[in-house]
């Protein structure tokens, strides 16, 4: 039985306009699309939820196929592009073009070799100490196996010593923390 208040029944032209707009670009702003089609935002969001719920497996498959074919297409073009970079072209390139090309190629080489493409600052590494307990807890909640047991890194180890004396204090504090953990585990 059809809901007589549903937009597809009450105003099929606005519904059709919205469907065409959404199908054309699902990533666009729903509020803006609803406004252009003359629909309330809540109605537009309801339509999107229904479409996503009903057709999500199809959408996922289309994206997968598109991604796979895109990757194959890119892979077929890479050798052609690399062969096109010759001494003549590099010699005629601007400094900016050379710098950009170098940066892209160097980063991609690092990725292919499994090397890091970014160096974490001291503050970013320190924040990992705050994130790891939450990640560990969430993984346990989801019953996801974790091969390592989490132990918080003592703040004395995380903090960067500024002097030899600070380094000695940090080492002493870290040793004390290790002894405390061992005693607690016994």
- What pLDDT is stored for residue 173 in this prediction? 58
Contact between residue 7 and residue 39 where contact means Cβ atoms under 8 Å apart: yes
List CB contacts of 11: < 8 A, sequence separation 6 or more.
none
How far apart CA 171 and CA 135 sit, in angstroms, is 27
- What pLDDT is stored for residue 161 in this prediction? 46
Domain ranges of the chain: 1-79, 85-118, 119-152, 155-186
- What pLDDT is stored for residue 62 in this prediction? 67
**118-146 b/e (C-beta count within 10 Å ≥ 16 → b):** eeeeeeeeeeeeeeeeeeeeeeeeeeeee
How far apart CA 57 and CA 64 sit, in angstroms, is 11
- Profile the chain (186 residues) by mean pLDDT over runs of 10 residues: 61 85 81 90 87 76 72 85 87 90 88 81 69 80 74 55 46 65 72
């Amino acid at each position: 039985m059809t809901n007589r208040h549903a937009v597809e029944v009450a105003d099929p032209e606005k519904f059709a306009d919205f469907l065409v707009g959404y199908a054309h670009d699902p990533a666009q702003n729903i509020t803006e699309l609803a406004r252009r089609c003359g629909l309330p935002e809540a109605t537009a969001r309801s339509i999107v939820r229904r479409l996503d719920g009903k057709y999500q497996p199809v959408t996922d498959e289309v994206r997968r196929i598109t991604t796979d074919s895109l990757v194959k297409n890119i892979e077929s073009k890479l050798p052609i592009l690399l062969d096109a970079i010759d001494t003549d072209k590099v010699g005629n390139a601007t400094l900016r073009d050379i710098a950009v090309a170098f940066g892209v190629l160097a980063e991609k080489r690092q990725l292919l070799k499994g090397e890091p493409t970014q160096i974490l600052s001291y503050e970013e590494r320190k924040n990992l100490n705050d994130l790891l307990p939450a990640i560990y807890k969430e993984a346990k909640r989801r019953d996801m196996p974790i091969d390592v047991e989490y132990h918080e890194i003592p703040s004395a180890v995380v903090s960067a010593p500024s002097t030899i004396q600070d380094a000695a204090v940090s080492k002493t504090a870290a040793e004390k923390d290790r002894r405390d953990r061992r005693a607690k585990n016994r």
